[in-house]
Amino acid sequence: MGKRRRARELALQSLFYVDSTSAPPLEALDLFCQNFPPPKDLARFFYELAKGVIEKRDEIDRLIEQHSNNWKLYRMSAVDLNLMRIAAYEFLFCPDVPRRVSINEAIDIGKRFGTAESGAFINGILDSIHLHLGKEEKAGKKK
C-alpha cells in the first residue's frame, strides 16, 4: 500500500473521530494525533488532508450536497461523506493529484471501510463533481 493511500486512510479515521466528538474540530484532530500519531513519512500529506478538510469543510460540503441528488449530508454514512470530503479537497486544493486518482482512492478506501454500496455511491457523486469542475475550468479558459 502506498504512502498517500495510508495517509488518506488515516485522514479518514481522524475526520471520523472529529465528527464523533463535541470538541472543536482542530482540537479533536490534535487529540486524535496525540493518541495515533501519523508516521513521519505520512505526516505532511495526512495533515494537509485532515486540516484542509476541516478548514474548508463548509465549501466542500456545499459542493458535495450540490451533486448528491436527493441526499442530505446528515443521511450519508460518516465514512462515505468523509472520503468524499477528502477527494473534493484534493480536487480543489491539490493540483498535483489527478482527479481520477482521488476518485479511485476514495472508491477503494470506501470499499474497505464502508458498505457494499459505498464504492458506487462515492463514485457517482465524485464523478459529478469532477465533471462540473472540468466544465467550469473550460469555461474559464474560454473567457
Rg (CA), the chain: 15
- Residue 142 confidence (pLDDT): 59
Distance CA 28, CA 129 (A): 28
Q: Give how far Cα 56 sits from Cα of 12, 40, 90, Å.
A: 15, 24, 11
- Residue 139 confidence (pLDDT): 85
- Residue 29 confidence (pLDDT): 98
- Residue 138 confidence (pLDDT): 85
Q: What is the pTM of this model?
A: 0.95
DSSP-assigned letters across all residues of 15-35:
HHHHHHSSS-HHHHHHHHHHH
DSSP 8-class letter at 74: G
Cα 31–chain centre separation: 20
The list of the chain residues with pLDDT below 50 reads: none
For 70, the 3-state DSSP assignment is: coil
The domain limits of the chain are: 3-142
Distance CA 127, CA 129 (A): 5
- Residue 120 confidence (pLDDT): 96
- Residue 47 confidence (pLDDT): 98
* Cβ proximity of 39 and 1 under 8 Å: no
Q: Would you say domain 3-142 falls under CATH 1.10.940.10?
A: yes
- Residue 1 confidence (pLDDT): 72
Dihedral angle of Cα 11, 12, 14, 18, to the nearest 10 degrees: 130
